[in-house]
Amino acid sequence: MNFRCRSCAGTRLAPVIDLGETPLANALVEPESLDRSEARYPLRAVFCRDCSLVQITETVAPEILFSNYVYFSSFSDTAVGSARAIARRLTQERKLGNNSLVMEAASNDGYLLRHYRDLGVPVLGIEPAANIAELAERHGVRTRCAFFGREEGERLASEGMRCDVFHANNVLAHVADLNGFVAGVKAVLKSDGVASIEVPYLGELIDKLEFDTIYHEHLCYFSATALDRLFARNGLLLSDVERLPIHGGSLRLFVTHANGRRSDRLKNLLDDEVRLGLTQPRAYADFETRVLQLRERLVALLNDLKASGRGLAAYGASAKGATLLNFCGIGRGLIDFVVDRSTVKQNKLTPGTHLPILQPEALLARKPDYVLLLTWNFADEILAQQAEYRKMGGKFIIPVPEARIV
């Protein structure tokens, strides 16, 4: 393998899991294009023995993945609530006002920055998807349509735009040039500024068998150890970390220029990762075997329900759902349709498995007996939204870490 680590350029790589060749997780299919072949790419994850980064070995051009994107953060009440809370908190803690500046990379439709704007704090979003950047602008969130990295960071700094707070929520995993992205953060961050960066946590992925969070948009899967080494390599300091329940378990990192100190909370997490073996290949040795066993049990459950005459649907035309459906071979033979709140996904088909995507009201109209919850990371929110369907006797199947019916 000629692949080099995305963080340290090391070549000592150990296998984690091979999910085969899959279509791009957000490449929804138009019904009229059903006869066209879909591009498929290898989906293999490896562990770097030198810096502890887990990553996939295939890089799909970001222009293919993100230039016309179908994920809108504002469709998730959980994501919006979390964004509102951190905006209010940092505005107060950092004493932000009308002379401050908050930036966000991959700012999506302005779901986070709008809360700073409403508090009177100037904002700037950097969003590569033209359709989403345009929507953010229409909502009154100043947005630049660009990919954020070293070049864009230095360009912003040269224009006099340096920020008090820099946000990067669920974007670092999407970045092929990790060092360039971090160098861009360093360029735009004021000397006393802070970057708040959120990433799904590798420890949860391995412990809870969250294999479906692996897809081509997510190039990397982070431990605190791997992140600490990445920031230090680029002259920044990982100073603190918080554990968040969102997205199946995430880290919120606080990063500053390298003149601060580490929190005890961060030191404890780094020690825990050594103790749990996340810095060594042995932690990943049986992950693929456990995932294969999960697939076998989930498919057997769905087959049994279908054989007994039960109607099956799915909730969430998400990227993780595409990984799960394609890896497990769950298609029209088992699932009749998928529902999703996102209006931009409705009336399209899921990649690879070609299940029709309908609005959530279809659960009440068609009354499937069971719904496979593909967006299990928002289980509480979705189960609450679907109280009427559940009152009618409908049940949900949560697939990971072990298929269970609720």
Domains observed in the chain: 65-284 (3.40.50.150), 299-405 (3.40.50.720)
> Which phi and psi (to 5°) does residue 385 adopt?
-65, -30
Determine the straight-line distance between the first and last CA of the chain, rounded to whole angstroms. Answer: 44
Maximum Cα–Cα distance across the chain: 66
In sequence order, what are the beta bridge partners of 357? 338
pLDDT of residue 62: 76
pLDDT of residue 370: 98
pLDDT of residue 75: 54
pLDDT of residue 20: 96
Q: Which residues of 325-358 are buried (b: 16+ CB within 10 A; e: fewer)?
A: bbbbebeeebbbbbbbbbeebbebbbbbbebbbb
pLDDT of residue 354: 96
pLDDT of residue 247: 74
pLDDT of residue 71: 52
**Mean pLDDT in each 10-residue stretch from start to end of the chain (406 residues)?**
92 97 94 90 97 96 67 64 94 97 95 96 94 92 96 98 97 94 98 96 95 96 98 97 88 93 96 95 93 97 97 96 97 96 94 97 98 94 96 97 95
Global confidence as pTM: 0.91
Single-letter amino acid, residue 228: D
